[in-house]
Amino acid sequence: MSIVSIKETTAGVDETVVSGTPKVIEGMYGTLTIDSTGAYSYQMTANATALGKVEAFTYTVQDNDGHSKQATIYIRLDSNLVTLDWTGKTGLEEANKLVTQLTADNKASAGTVTTLFDQVLNGSGDSSNSIQVTGSNGVLPTSPPETGSTAIPDDSGRFTLGAGQTAYISFTSILPSNVTQDFGFLGGGNQTSAYNVVIELERDGGTLAFDTQLATWTSTTSGTKYYYKVTNTGNSSANYDLNIGYGDGSIAYNWTNTTGKTFGINNIQLDIKDTTYTASSVSGDLISNDILYSSVFKIGVAAGSTTPSNYLDANSTPIVGAYGTLTVNLDGTYSYQANGKIADLGKDDVFTYKIETLDGTVNTQTLTIKVDADNVLIGTPDAGTTGNDIAVSQSANEVFTLGDGADLLIYNVLNGSSPTGGNGTDQWLDFNMSEGDKIDVSSLLSGATTDNINNYLSVSISGNQVTLLVDRDGSSGGISTPTALLTLTNEDHATNPITSLVDLLNNNSIIY
């Protein structure tokens, strides 16, 4: 028996097969080459969208007596690059294709956050965080001399701020009381009076320039507390001096009994707002959680929620996002490097990717990378330790338990139109000023200074419950109004109660 004719089954016309001459016949998806003995080969010529279909050819065989019959060759278009299920399929029935399913990917970036809080500042020969001088009898002029006075010697503590850095300084005055003052030739004898001591903050002008006086405080009562915020607005590092400069008296009077008396400040709290986020690269695979019809595909990626307009054509293609850069390879693997900004912590960098598989279908999905750091609590507000923890508020109403240590709670702008910056109304159950706990709301406030901070922040107090309210623009009738942001449970209430916003500011407990 030999094959004498063949045709493409669905719409073809019989073509004669001559013995000894292979016959080439075009099918719907490829080319069949067959000879009269029945030997054949098939070459698919259609694109990959034809995979899963069936090509059929009907042939006629005839014996030497002229008897003939027909049969059909079914050729299943398959490939190891795709996933097809032929179970139960016969004849021209097409395979079941695996349906591509993309799953949203979520990833957290990595890195570490460090702070420059709790800096040591002291005067010459003084204990840490103290600038003290011992009085010596002498004349005090009516106006403060540049170099101090003979009765109260000069002393200062110096600190350095890098360009753009901000320092928060708080301290308590020290001066004796009930001092005997000799009115000398004016008569009146010795009378009891009180000392004044003047504290200055200056920016050092360097060798050839004058110092710039930034703030002056005159204290008449020992134990008075002060706070101040200073920012280095220059382009290079600068030195700052906290001085004990002089006392206030009259040129005609002598201060007596000053020898051995202590003047100055102590309990100095110097916190430099230079919280640094050192971001490290994280890697992943966009398709690791996806189900793809084919192992060969095209991929496109775009920042944000917009569907990519193009497909990648090279490995290591960088895609600049809102808070970092995503570098994507053609196989879907990627790395992400956050920009390393504290204000970005807790925010989501969203990318949209699309996959086109061999069957021509296109699916889209998102990759969301939360800007995170290894030593920062984001989304786990109750995971505090005995160390100095750093936490970042999120949009939900969170309850923070940060444990012992000098803990820091950061608020960033998640939604610029929200009175809380998109943050929830939170609680901090174990806030403790004495341990150095701090709240950083600097990203929420615009234009806050020492002089106007009361326009931005206020508190409502009930027992050991202190609610911090924030007005982000600090203006009456502005776009923002005082809104509850955080309620503190002061666990040190019995010995260190919070009675006003000033208590928090005097302790540098609020970074603004």
Rounded to whole angstroms, what are the CA distances from 411 to 439, 470, 480, 498?
8, 11, 16, 21
Please tell me the distance from the alpha carbon of residue 224 to that of residue 20, in angstroms, as a whole number.
114
pLDDT tens-place string over residues 380-437: 999 999 999 999 999 999 999 999 999 999 999 999 999 999 999 999 999 999 999 9
SS3 57: strand
Average of pLDDT values for 271-280?
A: 94
Closest CA to 410 of 421, 317, 419: 421
Single out the residue of 319, 348, 313, 321 nearest to residue 334, CA to CA: 319
Interval 138-149: pLDDT, tens: 544 444 444 434
Report the alpha-carbon distance of residue 402 to residue 426 in Å, rounded.
13
Distances (CA, A) of 337 to 109, 110, 379: 7, 9, 21
What the block records as the tokens of 134 is 């011992």
Task: Give strand pairing partners of 59.
Answer: 6, 71
Look at residue 435 in the predicted model and tell me its pLDDT: 96
The full set of domains in the chain, from first to last, is 2-97 (no CATH), 105-113+281-370 (2.60.40), 129-276 (2.60.120.680), 376-511 (no CATH)
Residues 440-459, mean pLDDT to the nearest whole number:
96
Ranking 4-13, 327-336, 497-506 by mean pLDDT, the lowest is 4-13
Residue 198: per-residue pLDDT: 87
